[in-house]
Amino acid sequence: MNIAVSILTSNYDEEETIERINKTDASELHVDVMDGHFVSNKTSFKHLEKSKKKLDIHLMVSRPFEYISRYALFKNAEYIVIHVELEDNLEDLLSYIKSRGLKCGLAINPNTPISQLNPYLELIDEVLMMSVEPGLGAQKMLDNVEDRLLELVDIRNKGYNFRIVVDGGVNDQTINRVKMADVVVSGSFICKSEDYQKQLDQLRLSKDEKKC
């Protein structure tokens, strides 16, 4: 399991937060982009080019085309993920992400049936399973996470190649609940601390201890 770090909630400004993440062995930087419409909050980022980690860009926006164009310009961008709940033509948007040389993914909210992903499973490189309601950091992981994650794993085992990422409420008390994921996203547990690497180490230790 890899651990991505979200910079949505931090004790430090964006630039210092990114610099601190650079000094850790986190697998990637998770970037939560919000437009104030798809979700109530709004975010903007000015220092993503300073990241030495690959970017997994999560677009919580109602009109993703312009955001895809903007974030695809970052040389360290690897994935751009849009929401399956959008009313846009998702196939066109996923194809556009691919045309920009990036991997594409779909995020799915906690109350959206996993089956809504079915038409797109052959097109995507990532499923971002939200384990909290999107739009706010430092939320508690919801109760239905394990069942939904198992459903996704079972679907992938039928011959698909997408990675599974879980985002929301991941800390040293909950990480064992999502150990089937390929990547977990942790935000406030890491970025509201003084020692980012120590928190990453604690996540891995907690998962391994509870395995036995």
The pLDDT tens digits for 127-138 are 999 999 886 655
32 is catalytic: yes
**Do residues 7 and 17 touch, judged by C-beta distance below 8 A?**
yes
**Do residues 96 and 60 touch, judged by C-beta distance below 8 A?**
no
| Boundaries of every domain in the chain | 2-211
Average pLDDT score over residue span 104-108: 98
Query: What's residue 83's pLDDT?
Result: 97
- Any residues with CB less than 8 A from the CB of 72 and at least 6 apart, and which? 80, 97, 100, 101, 102
Query: What's residue 129's pLDDT?
Result: 97
pTM over 0.85: yes
Which residues on neighbouring strands pair with residue 57, listed in sequence order? 31, 80
**Do residues 84 and 107 touch, judged by C-beta distance below 8 A?**
yes
Reply yes or no on whether the pLDDT at 208 is more than 90: no
Q: For the chain, where are the E strands, in sequence order?
A: 2-6, 28-34, 54-60, 77-83, 103-108, 126-130, 163-167, 183-186
Helix (H) or strand (E) holding 49: none
Amino acid, single-letter form, for residue 125: D
Reply yes or no on whether the pLDDT at 212 is more than 60: no
Catalytic-role residue among 167, 172, 195, 201: 167
Instruction: State how far the Cα of 91 lies from the Cα of 124, in Å rounded to an integer.
Output: 10
Query: What's residue 108's pLDDT?
Result: 97
Tens digit of pLDDT for each residue in 36-90? 999 888 998 999 999 999 999 999 999 999 999 999 999 999 999 999 999 889 9
C-alpha 85: how far from its chain's center?
16
Query: What's residue 22's pLDDT?
Result: 98
Query: What's residue 136's pLDDT?
Result: 66
**Do residues 138 and 115 touch, judged by C-beta distance below 8 A?**
no
Average pLDDT score over residue span 20-44: 94
Instruction: State how far the Cα of 183 lies from the Cα of 166, in Å rounded to an integer.
Output: 7
Catalytic-role residue among 25, 32, 88, 147: 32
Tens digit of pLDDT for each residue in 118-127? 999 999 999 9
| 168 Rama class: left (phi>0) / alpha (psi -120 to 50) / beta | left
CATH 1.10.510.10 assigned to domain 2-211? The reply is: no
**Do residues 59 and 68 touch, judged by C-beta distance below 8 A?**
yes
Query: What's residue 88's pLDDT?
Result: 87
Instruction: State how far the Cα of 212 lies from the Cα of 197, in Å rounded to an integer.
Output: 24
Mean pLDDT of the chain: 94
